Structures are given as C-alpha cells and as structure tokens.
A and B are shown apart, each in its own frame.
Chain A
Amino acid sequence: MEISCEEVWREISNYLEDEISAELHTRMEEHFKGCKHCSAVLDGSRNVVRLVSSAGAFELPAGLSDRLYQKLDRKLSERSESQKKE
C-alpha cells in the first residue's frame, strides 16, 4: 500500500534507528525510490546523525578539563585542612 510523504517524515527517525516493522521498512524503501524529497530528508537526517557523532563536532570550553574538578578539589582540601587541625 502506498505510503504518504507525511507518514514517511513521521517515521524517518525510527527508520534510521531500525525501530519499525519489516513491513513498514519495505514500504518506506519503495517510497524513497520514487520520492526525491523524502530521499533528501532521509539523507540529510542521516548526515546530521553522522556529523554530530564525529569527534570534534562540538568544542569544549578551553581549560574545562581542569576546571571540572575545581569543586571536588576544594572540598578535598577543606577536608584535609580540618583533619590536620584535629
């Protein structure tokens, strides 16, 4: 049975996740063969997932790695100081 573009868009993310039934998968594949718009949406969505998965897609603030432990280091040094006093 023919599937509409709207139905394809609704399921396109699940298609990428392989979280749809075999029957729906086949219907969507048939649709992609004949619909350049939906093929473009599929390719683009897949590319987004690939891009953001890549190392370096998002940059961390400079020096974050050291600052991440600031609160812990402060607590540990406070504890160490209080132990010395005891």
Chain B
Amino acid sequence: MLEVGAPSRSSATTSAVLTKRQGDASEAELIQRVLSGQEEAFRQLVRPYEYAVFMAAQAILKNEADAEDAAQDAVLKTFTNLAKFRGDSKFSTWLIRIATNEALMKLRKQRHQRLHDSLDEPRKDDDGDYIPRDFADWREIPSEALQKKELRQALSRALAALTPKHREVFVLRDVQHFTIEETAQLLGIRKSAVKTRLLRARLQMRDALAPGMDGSWSTGRREYKPVRPW
C-alpha cells in the first residue's frame, strides 16, 4: 500500500542529483521543488513523459482502460517515491520502469484471476526465427503519411497484433527510444532476448504495414496478409 506524504530527501542527496545530471538542470530543479513541498511542480516534471508512461503501460496491457489505470498508479507511485530517486539513471527511465512494473503487476493480477487464461496453455516458441511473409518493395515513406488516419490506424492495429513480450520491447526501443541495454534493464531480461524480440517485432510490423495492392493498412484487414505471396 502506498503512503502518500510529502516526499523528502536530504539536501545533500538532492545536490548530488543536481551535480550528476547537469544536462537536466531544470528537471533536477523540479524534483527539488517537489521534494520541498511544491507539489504543483510534479505535473511539470512528468508532463514531457506522459505519452511514454501511457505507451509503456499499453504495450504490456494492450487494453486502453487498463493501461490508463496502470499509468495513473505509476504517476502516484512516482510522486510517493520521488525521494528514493537517486539520479543514477535518467528520471524518464526511472518513471518508465515504474510504469512498466505497474502494468506488469496488473497483468499478473489479471492472469491470476482468469484461471483458464489461454496464457496457461502450452505456448509455442515464438522466439524462433521469423520469416518475412512478403517482399513488397517499400523504399520510401509516403510523404505526409502520418497525416493519414488510415496509416495511424494500421500502425495501432499492427502494434496490437504483436504478442505482449514483443510489443513491450518494440515500444520501449523503437517508440520510446530506450537503448537495448535500458530496455533489457527495464524489463529484467537479457540484452540478447531484447534483440531477438525486437527483430521479430520489426519484421512483423513491416509485414503488416508494407503498402501494396493488398497491404493491410490500405484494406483495413486485421490479419497479416502477404502483399505479394511467393
């Protein structure tokens, strides 16, 4: 159970954080303000990472409402534990780790509740080699592609179709730009596992998005369908 109290930390520790992360001076300053009781500074501190917090939770939970709930828990926990932030990592990494943990905890609870969850069924090994399903040419990103609602929807669909363990790695590395090492630390897995999952996720996303006469993002199909079957 979380205790909500004014976070506190000795000024010496705070100074150490300030010195260590000079590049994030304003961030360290905000942390210090929150710790000294100016709670309103907390939103300013978290605001740049709201997208990242939500995406980290959604990558694990898939469901938007659950992700939002976990993200809210993460924000609360971050505030409560701010005094424990030692500045050894970036604040953003620490925050995302909390969001990731909250989402994982929620996922575990859900699995526990559903005794016959399909996750308990024997799982096929999906860390094996992934073979690209088509070889459609996709040399250029269409200009203003992201302005197209269809493409944004196709991106979301393709992301949702990844398995949780591939999605979380893909989101942390490619959407949120954590390094391979940071991603491994955040998820508590080996770097080699991050690389393997990232490969599959990227190839699967490519298969889903490569445009063409029969491309999934132009037809709205949910399932992967080879653009040019061989």
Contacts and interface: CB of A to CB of B under 8 A. Distances in A.
B60 interface: no
B182 to A, nearest CB: 13
B75 A71 contact: yes
B37 to A, nearest CB: 12
Interface string B79-123: 100000000000000000000000000000000000000000000
Determine chain B's interface SS by DSSP, over half rule.
helix
B193 interface: no
B75 A58 contact: no
Interface residues of B, number: 53
A85 interface: no
A10 B199 contact: yes
Given A9-B130, A48-B209, A79-B4, A67 B202 contact: no
A75 B51 contact: no
B145 interface: yes
A14 B152 CA distance: 26
B146 A51 contact: yes
Contacts of B195: 13-14, 17, 19
Interface of B: 2, 4-5, 39, 42-43, 46-47, 50-51, 53-55, 64, 68, 71-73, 75-76, 79, 129-132, 135-141, 145-146, 151-152, 155-156, 159, 170, 174-175, 177, 180, 195, 198-199, 202-203, 205-206, 209-210
